[in-house]
Each structure stands twice: as C-alpha cells, then as structure tokens.
C-alpha cells in the first residue's frame, strides 16, 4: 500500500466522518486545522482510495488535492529576523511552502547578515540539520552571495535550495560545490508578493523543493525505514498521553525519516523508547531517540531496514 500526501479542505460539519474514513482506510492524519467553519486536514492516504474519499467528501463540500510536501519539515533560513528580511521575503516563502503541506520553521541566524561578517554558529547548524531540507534566502548581490554562502553552508548535511536575487544561472555559476537546488529572482524585497510573476517565483521554489524531496524519497525507498514516520506518530499519540496536553500546533511533527516529539527529553525519552510497536519490538529497537537542539524536544530518527532487519 503506497501512501500519497494530500490536503482535504471542507466544512466542519461531519468532518469527523472523513477523519474516521481516512483512518479506517489505513491512512494517517498528519495535521488538522480548524479555521472558523472550515477544516483543513493534511494526511497520507492510500493511493487507490483517493477517489473514495473524494466521493464521500463531496456532499460535505470537501475537496481533496495532492500536497507533495505533507510529512516534511523544512527550514527557511534567513540572514536575520530584522526588518530587512521580514516580513516579506522570509514569511512569504515560508507561508507559501506551508500551503503545500510542509511544516516550515523559520531559522533567523544571529549573525547571518553582511558579507565578510556573516557567521553560522553550531546551534544554528544543528537546528538546520534536524530538518528534511533547508531553503536559504539570501540577498540581491552576486558578489555577496558568492562570498558568504560557503560560511553559511558549513556543516549543513541536509539538501539546500538556494534563493537569491541574481538569476538562477548566475547562482549556479558562483556556487561551488553545487547545492541541490537554485531559484533566482527571489532575493531581498520589501513588498508583499501578490503579482502573478512573483507568485510564479514562489511556485518555482516549491517545484524545486518537491523535485529534491521526491528524489530523496526514491533514495529512501531503496533501503526502506523500519516503520513509517506517520505510523510511528499514531503509535506515540496512542501510548504517550502527555502529548495531548502539548499546546503546539503539531506536538508530533512528521519528517521524512523520523519525528520531532515536543515533550521534554529527560522525562519522556525513556518512556518513548519503551513504547511497544509490535509484539516484542519497541521504538528503541527501531529508532534512535535523541535530544533535539530545538528547545527541549525529542528527535526520533527511524533506522533503515539494513540496520534493524525489521520492516513494520
């Protein structure tokens, strides 16, 4: 059964039926938003059942659309959180990616601005490395990007999409060694993106991210994870009651290779390690449960089949 990431949008009336349906079909609800009278569900559903959900959702004015980025956590890296980059460049991009189902976190570097003086500290590096992909939003000058980017990428192991003011070709030329994706024409700007050509640029960013993550998924499929992150999310939600008291919008954030659990590490890491996934198999057997550099959270990284010899 292959799962496809989708977004379901519909009225709040009888939406629990859709949730039950998705769960009964063996799908997973990654995130649920209730906005006034509307419900937005981000879910992974079996490919062959999409039509069924569409049919049942139709009388409830529900719409189901593919969202390629559901189940990924993406870092949007900005040189700082000053007025020079906020709200427009950084928030517009972060928000647009979010519409395709990704969970985006904005990483504002403490000293990422300037040309010679740009720096990346170890905490920032580790936080970015906890994501599935990093989108770097740099400025408008080739000279500056060429000079500062090697510093900002030092130690980053996740795929990088580089956005900047110069054209895509110009960016490709100045970056050595190459990064995974480039989008030119998205540099520093001070106005809201609402014109069609600006939206097209944002589409380009999403297309680039989708392309890279699809390739990453293919690579992962060669040595599959011992358990799917979405299923692990359900198991933790069932077995660790305290997760329901967490007020974050996504107490359990699904990533491509694991989960971020928003509970204090010291208290809950042993609890999570002991949770039984299947008879005699615990989470500790399938995944590494490590402290996250983001607050006091827990980062669960699922080990591949080649390490555990188990696929659930």
Partner 1 sequence: MEAVEYFEVECDEPAGREYYRKIADIVLLDHNLLRVIAKLHIFIDPKIPLFVATGVTRKLPGVVRLRDFADVNKKESSVTISIGDETYLAPLLRLLWEKFGKDRVNQPDRFTVLLTLDQGEQEGLEDLPVFDPSETIYKDLIYVLQVIQPEGFKVRRQYYGKGRFYLVASEDTLPDDTEELVRRKFALMGEEL
Quick one: 23 or 142, whose CB is closer to partner 1?
142
Mask: binding to partner 1, 253-292, rule CB under 8 A, as x and -?
----------------------------------------
Quick one: 169 or 296, whose CB is closer to partner 1?
169
301 CB contacts (<8 Å, ≥6 apart)? 257, 258, 287, 288, 290
Which of 312, 244, 235, 231 has the alpha carbon at shortest distance from 276?
Answer: 235
Quick one: 101 or 165, whose CB is closer to partner 1?
165
User: Which one of 25, 170, 207, 235 is in contact with partner 1 (CB under 8 A)?
Assistant: 170
Other CB atoms within 10 A of residue 294 CB: 17
Quick one: 1 or 117, whose CB is closer to partner 1?
117
Q: Which stretch binds partner 1 (CB under 8 A): 67-75, 184-192, 208-216, 266-274?
A: 184-192
Other CB atoms within 10 A of residue 154 CB: 10
Measure the CA–CA gap between 69 and 254, rounded to whole angstroms.
Answer: 11
- Span 132-151, contacts to partner 1 by CB under 8 A: 139-144
Residue pointed to by tokens 């939406």: 15
Sheet (strand 298-302) strand order: 252-254, 258-261, 298-302, 287-291
Quick one: 144 or 283, whose CB is closer to partner 1?
144
User: Which one of 114, 264, 291, 304 is in contact with partner 1 (CB under 8 A)?
Assistant: 114
Q: Which helix (H) or strand (E) holds 238?
A: helix 229-239
Q: How many residues does the chain have?
A: 312
Using CB under 8 A as the binding rule, whether residue 194 contacts partner 1 is answered as: no
Q: Which stretch binds partner 1 (CB under 8 A): 82-90, 206-214, 222-230, 301-309?
A: 82-90
Q: Is 145 helix (H, G, I), strand (E, B) or coil?
A: helix
Q: In angstroms, what CA-CA distances link 89 with 3, 164, 203?
A: 33, 10, 14
Quick one: 182 or 268, whose CB is closer to partner 1?
182
Using CB under 8 A as the binding rule, whether residue 65 contacts partner 1 is answered as: no
User: Shortest distance, CB of residue 203 to partner 1, whole angstroms?
Assistant: 20
203 CB contacts (<8 Å, ≥6 apart)? none
Using CB under 8 A as the binding rule, whether residue 229 contacts partner 1 is answered as: no
Using CB under 8 A as the binding rule, whether residue 165 contacts partner 1 is answered as: yes
User: Which one of 8, 96, 100, 113 is in contact with partner 1 (CB under 8 A)?
Assistant: 113
Chain contacts with partner 1 (rule: CB under 8 A): 79-80, 82-85, 113-118, 139-144, 165-167, 170, 187-191
């Amino acid at each position: 059964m292959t799962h496809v990431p989708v977004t379901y949008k519909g009225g709040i009336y009888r939406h629990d039926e859709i949730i039950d349906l998705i769960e009964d079909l063996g799908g997973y609800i990654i995130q649920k938003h209730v906005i006034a009278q509307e419900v937005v569900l981000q879910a992974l559903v079996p490919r062959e059942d999409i039509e069924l959900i569409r049919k049942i959702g139709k009388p409830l004015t529900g719409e189901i659309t593919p969202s390629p980025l559901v189940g990924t956590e993406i870092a949007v890296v900005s040189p700082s959180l000053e007025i020079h980059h906020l709200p427009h460049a950084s928030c517009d991009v972060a928000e647009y990616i979010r519409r395709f189902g990704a969970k985006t976190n904005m990483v504002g570097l403490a000293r990422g601005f300037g040309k010679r003086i740009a720096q990346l500290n170890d905490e920032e590096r580790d936080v970015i490395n906890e994501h599935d992909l990093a989108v770097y939003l740099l400025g408008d000058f080739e000279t500056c990007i060429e000079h500062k980017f090697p510093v900002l990428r030092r130690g980053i192991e996740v795929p990088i999409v580089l956005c900047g003011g110069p054209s895509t070709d110009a960016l490709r030329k100045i970056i050595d060694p190459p990064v995974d994706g480039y989008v030119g024409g998205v540099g520093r700007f001070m106005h809201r993106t609402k014109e069609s050509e600006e939206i097209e640029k944002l589409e380009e960013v999403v297309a680039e991210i989708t392309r890279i993550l699809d390739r990453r998924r293919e690579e992962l499929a060669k040595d599959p994870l011992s358990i799917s992150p979405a299923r692990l999310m359900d198991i933790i939600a069932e077995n660790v009651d305290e997760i329901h008291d967490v007020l974050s919008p996504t107490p359990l954030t699904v990533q491509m290779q694991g989960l971020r659990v928003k509970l204090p590490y010291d208290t809950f890491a042993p609890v999570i390690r002991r949770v039984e996934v299947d008879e005699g198999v615990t989470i500790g057997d399938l995944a590494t449960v490590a402290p996250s550099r983001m607050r006091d959270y827990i980062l669960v990284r699922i080990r591949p089949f080649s390490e555990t010899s188990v696929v659930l």
